[in-house]
Structure 1
Amino acid sequence: MIAVNDRSTTSRNHPSIWDKEHFSITIGSILAFTIIAFQGLALATIAPVLAEDIGGRNLYGWIFSAFLLPQIVGTVYAGREVDRHSPARVFLIHLVFFTLGCIVAGAAPSISWLFLGRAIQGFGAGGIASCVYAVVSSAYEDKLRPAILAATSAAWVVPSLIGPAIAGFVAEQWSWRWAFFGLIPILLAIAPLTLPSYARIKPHNLTAKADRRLQLAIVLAIATGLFLAGLEIRPWIAGAAVAAMGLGGLITTLTRLLPEGTFTARPVMPAAILARGLGLGGFAVVETYLIFSLKDFGGVSATRVGLILTVTSILWTVGSWLQSRWDRATGPAHRPRRLATGFALVFAAALGIFLCVAILQEIWLWAGLVGWGIAGIGIGLAYPTAVSIAFVNAPAGMEGKVSSSMILIDLFAFSIGVGLGGVLLAFAESTGRSTELGAALAMSLGVAMLALAVVAGLRTRHLPVTSPSPSG
């Protein structure tokens, strides 16, 4: 993509994500991310209830994996198509899939039907996110992107604050099924807000031929499934063999799906994509096992653990707002510094928590609040900045591919990081080591990923001082 027609003179002179030209795209994009965030957080709350109701406690993890694997395919498919067709068409297709998935999952009479609904949802969600990111690259000029990225980051805060509570209340008072059905009115509201504006965005690559990215995405989903399944297989030797096979397929396929030079942090765009993926993955790993440690041997209640997550979500939004203000004041030239600074903050916080668990064999509520609060600000500074750097260096007509690449590496780093962390924890406990040591080993993986994210962030310093003129 992409060109936006009929821009007003007023918008050119005083552009804003809230002006007449961008208002409906901004609201629709925020709602799209909000609905994806809400369903994920809500499902985490109601999953034990629905597993008990329709069976499937022995397949509990696959309630989430059934969403993840088709999400990979939907992400790549939408990223390819949005460079060749109107984003309105691509967005509508995936919005319909997501809505259909909500209906099937909500009406599921058995766990197999729930898996089907979650799979349809995942395909739709992957495409929605990929499409929105491509539109952000195309419909907003470079100096507006930090602001719209801060706004979409804020879209995760409200669901994190009220999503689990609402889902739990609905499940207790009525049925867990309404956690799916209740999303449908919001999905119907998103369409009129986004589609007219998305229809004005024209793709550059109308004559581009389809490539093999979709087939590779399917292989990637299968490899991811093998990896996740291998982590659950016993005995360990058989599980390790299956997981290693899946991991090999993952890495091989990703090297062909991601921009060339991503895994070597080639400046500038590939390095920004790698930094974002490693940073988010490392953040997720440390957060996952911080929560585990607080509840398991830290003596912290679930309610207080939830307080840490809430504070972190709010501070993530604060960090996103700060990066927008910072960008407005200094321009593109300071983005690499902001990227490295943000991930350095997350790394420092994660290292402190890791050392606390590894050396002192203890973790406290205040350490989680302070440490992970700092991490929240850091990830808020770095995560949207990586997107801005990647988009300003994306070749014209490749916005969809770059968007899907960023989401893919996020999914890869998150699932592999958390999965391997679980293996390290289980290995420590099965060999007679303490739970504290196992949690520290799992966290060490996240700390290492964050260190590499800082290094990759520093590799974006070749970013030009003046950004290219907007394609719109």
Structure 2
Amino acid sequence: MTNVVPSGTKGVGFRSERGPVLIAVMLSTGLVALDSTIIATAVPSIVTDLGGFEQFPWLFSIYLLTQAVTVPLYGKFADVLGRKPVMLFGIAVFLLGSVLCGAAWSMPVLIISRAIQGIGAGAVLPISMTMVGDQYTVEERAKVQGYLASVWAMASVIGPTLGGIFAEYLTWRWIFFVNVPVGAVAVVVLVLRFTESVERRKHRIDYMGAALLTLGCSLLILGLLEGGVAWRWGSVESILIFVVSAVMLIGFVLVERRAAEPVVPLWVFSKRTLVGGNLVSLIIGALLIGMSSYLPTFAEGVMGTGALVAGLTLGALTVGWPLAASQAGRFYMRIGFRDTGLIGSVLVVIGALLVALLPIGSTVWQAAGAGFVLGLGLGLSSVPTLVAVQSTVGWNRRGVVTGTNMFNRSMGSAVGVAVFGAIANTTLANRFAHPPAAVAGQLPPSADATSLVLGGHPDPASPVDAFVREALYAATHQVFVVMFVVSILTVGATLLMPRRTAQLTFAEDAQVREESPSVPTACTQSQRSASS
């Protein structure tokens, strides 16, 4: 029994034999998509309620860090234990973290709860993508990506809107509680409609590699996020943290070279397709979190909009992404993965440039338009590179390569939010340390002064509000400029991929599994019926 599409299986829609599995994947993806779009617009309200503006990047970085370091483990477990138990575990932990986030009474508690949420999210998205790679051919994935893109499109509209409504009219805590019913439905569908048969055997888990990766990445994020805030960049503390982080990551590479079953096998960096695809994913992660973190802040604090309008501004990016992703399949089936990704990377650069050029007197339409162009580029870059990565390996390695690709995106986001947070915090600290005489002594301590304008509708006649608004513009503008520089790297990363990508056919995939008795087999109930 092999995990390939039976010859009698027709169609990729909801009424096809694989329809229930597609619905389950979409619901699971929607869980992460909704959380990704709904929290960004509520950050100003959270800061106003709990305080700690200088700590708010941790709401993203700790979530992304725990997500990133667990993704490779989940990818490995999915190839060993099967997709279903890993997915159910991830959803359960994610929902637990969501409930704890909604009940948080301080910023540190909220940050810890976000870490738990990230541990669960580390399973949901990569395993969803792996399941799609299992169930559909390369040609069919072009259509399935349209369905998955529609999830992000709906989340891009529903998420920011709900986030703005909850933050402005109810309470920001509902942005976390809303995950519970969505996750519950996803669990029910997976339990009832997705079945798999897995051959059990003993495995050696690379605990040492996992520990070194987690600690090394955690120290790197800590050093980037707190440098220039809790301690000076050139201080002993800062240097020591980066040195220890580097030693641990080097040790991680050495351990992976000798591990029987490494967390991140080094062969994933031996092919140009995998290297290029992973680098693109790394850069996309950084750009996406930069926009998600600072575009709503720019809209509220600089442009003076409310949380709801700020959410719709960000929604333009998350509408552009799925629109482009839904059409990416048509492009890469005609001109190839690399050329499609190259078109997307050029749009990414153009969109990032438009964002960097936003003036202090920008309108909502200018900000939304720039975000929409960037979203188009991200959609055309992410889909072909991920499908190319999945298409170069068989079932028994698809979980690993998908997990590694998602790991790079999560690490890009984690490092990106740390770097962008350091830039913003350093800029604000410098501005607030030297205020003009007219506002000296009237500012709240540290970066919490931004709460004066983050509630929307700042007082234009107030010299204090005007100064804070200008300082916040300087901080976000610096972030957007760095994002533009990073976006240029997308073009180079895409060019690393070969023009023609070798692909395993489903027949070759089946042969790999038949020749590897230790590889678990999985299929839906409908597929087993069709096979028999």
Q: TM-score range by the shorter chain?
A: 0.7 to 0.9
Alignment of 1:81-230 (within 5 A): 81-108=77-104, 114-167=110-163, 169-170=165-166, 176-195=172-191, 198-200=194-196, 202=198, 206=201, 208-212=203-207, 213-227=209-223, 228-230=225-227
Q: Aligned-pair distance for 1:323?
A: 0.7
SS at match of 2:156: helix
Going from structure 1 to structure 2, the CA distance change for 1:155 and 1:59 (only over 3 Å counts) comes to: same
Change (3 A) 1:64 1:313: closer
Provide the residue aligned with 1:277 in structure 2.
282
Displacement of 1:261: 7.8
Q: Is the 8 A contact 1:134 1:403 kept in 2?
A: yes
Larger Rg: 2
Structure 1 residues not aligned, in runs of 5+: none
TM-score with structure 1 length normalisation? 0.82
For residue 316 of structure 2, what is the aligned residue in structure 1? 311
Q: Which amino acid aligns with 1:320?
A: A
Q: Which amino acid aligns with 1:233?
A: A
Counterpart code for 1:450: S
Identify which of 26, 29, 36 aligns with 1:33: 29
What is the alpha-carbon distance in structure 1 between the residues aligned to residue 410 and residue 211 of structure 2? Answer: 18
Percent identity over paired residues: 20
- What amino acid does structure 2 have at the position aligned with 1:16? V
Alpha-carbon shift at residue 85 of structure 1 (Å) = 0.8
Structure possessing the higher relative contact order (Cα contacts under 8 Å, 6 or more residues apart): 2
Contact 1:390 1:402 in 2 (8 A): yes
- 2:382 equivalent in structure 1: 383
Paired residue for 2:398? 399
The answer for the alignment partner of 1:321 in structure 2 is 326
Q: Which position in structure 2 is the counterpart of 1:350?
A: 352
Structure 2 Cα separation of the partners of residues 270 and 81 of structure 1: 22
Separation in 2 of the partners of 1:393 and 1:253? Answer: 29
CA–CA distance in 1 between the matches of 2:168 and 2:295?
29
Partner of 1:336: 338
TM superposition shift of 1:119: 2.8
Question: What secondary structure is seen at the aligned counterpart in 2 of 1:397?
Answer: helix
TM-score by length of 2: 0.73
Distance (Å, rounded) in 1 between the aligned partners of 2:297 and 2:352: 14
Q: Is the alpha carbon distance of 1:430 and 1:8 closer, same or farther for their aligned partners in structure 2, counting shifts above 3 Å? A: closer
Cα distance, 1:176–1:430 mapped onto 2, change above 3 Å: closer
Q: CA deviation at 1:130?
A: 2.4
| In 2, Cα distance between equivalents of 1:261 and 1:170 | 46
Per the TM alignment, residue 161 of structure 1 is displaced from its structure 2 partner at its CA by 1.6
Distance 1:8 1:292 in 2: 50
- The 1:441–1:394 alpha-carbon spacing in structure 2 relative to 1, beyond 3 Å, is farther
Q: Could you say what the CA RMSD is over the residues aligned between the two structures, in angstroms?
A: 3.8
**Do the aligned partners of residues 253 and 363 (structure 1) sit closer, same or farther apart at CA in structure 2, a change above 3 Å counting?**
farther
Residue pair 1:103, 1:180 contacting (<8 A) in 2 also: yes
How far apart are residue 153 of structure 1 and its match? Answer: 3.0
Check 1:224–1:411 CA distance in 2 against 1; reply closer, same or farther (3 A cut). farther
Whether 2:405 is the aligned partner of 1:415: answer: no
Equivalent position amino acid for 1:99 in 2: L
> Distance in 2 between the 1:49 and 1:438 partners?
19
Q: Give the superposition deviation at 1:26.
A: 1.1
Moved more, 208-217 or 296-305: 296-305
Deviation of residue 319 (structure 1)? Answer: 0.4
Q: Does the alignment pair 1:267 with 2:265?
A: no
Native 8 Å contact 1:220 1:253 kept in 2: no
| SS of match in other structure, 1:16 | coil
Write the distance in 2 (CA, Å) between the matches of 1:45 and 1:431: 26
Moved more, 25-34 or 277-286: 277-286
User: Is the Cα–Cα contact under 8 Å of residues 72 and 221 in structure 1 kept in the other structure?
Assistant: no
Shift of 1:413: 1.5
Counterpart of 2:521 in structure 1 is: none
Aligned equivalents of 1:365, 1:184: Cα separation in 2: 32
Equivalent AA in structure 2 for residue 119 of structure 1: A
1:284-340 deviation line (CA, Å, top 9, x unaligned): 436755555555556666655443322222221110111123345x2xx61110011
Distance 1:258 1:371, change over 3 A: farther
